[in-house]
Structure 1
Amino acid sequence: MADHPIRVRGHFWVASRPHAACVWEEAGGQLSVGEVGTWSGRPPRTSLMVTGVGNERAAIADAFAAALHSPADPVGDDRLDDWFGVQTDGDEAV
């Protein structure tokens, strides 16, 4: 996504890390995502605001659609350790 002339800001939920509240900040070709805590009893959700110029809408919508997790998909290794640290289940590393 960082190669598009857009600004993205918000929070999101990752199925393989159900307790982690994650944040997404992107602007000027720079992307930062990471864990900012837990959902603390609140229902997990995703809310991202994407703004930009040009005719990028379809490409961005396709990229997000390709990244969505279906309830039928297995939740194994999410390959996000570089961004969020080692995946844990409570206090145990997975």
Structure 2
Amino acid sequence: MALDLIPARHERDIHAAQRRFAIDQALHAQLQARAQPPDDYPLLRALRYHDDTAFPLAELRALHAELLRVETRFTEPSQVRELLCFVERTIADGDNLYATAD
């Protein structure tokens, strides 16, 4: 089971999307534990493992900034770096980002 991040222009297009980033339970728990205090990480905190959510393009730079801050709290930040690259490409492509819970 994973929380899939899917870039698309519109929600109706997510099923045809070619790219996805899967956040497994372990990474999700680590992100949430390190996104402290919660008020400083509203977008990361919005990623709920059992709920769908959407991040419009206008919010993706803020999400990217939150990920950069939390990355420094990881002993092994490689998964966070992969997620950062995924968000960067989504921004460059001009897409929104949809989080869908399996």
Would you say same fold, with TM above 0.5? Answer: no
Q: Relative contact order: is structure 1 or structure 2 higher (C-alpha 8 Å, sep ≥ 6)?
A: 2
Please identify which structure carries the higher helix content: 2
* Greater Cα radius of gyration, structure 1 or 2: 1
TM-score category by the smaller chain? 0.3 to 0.5
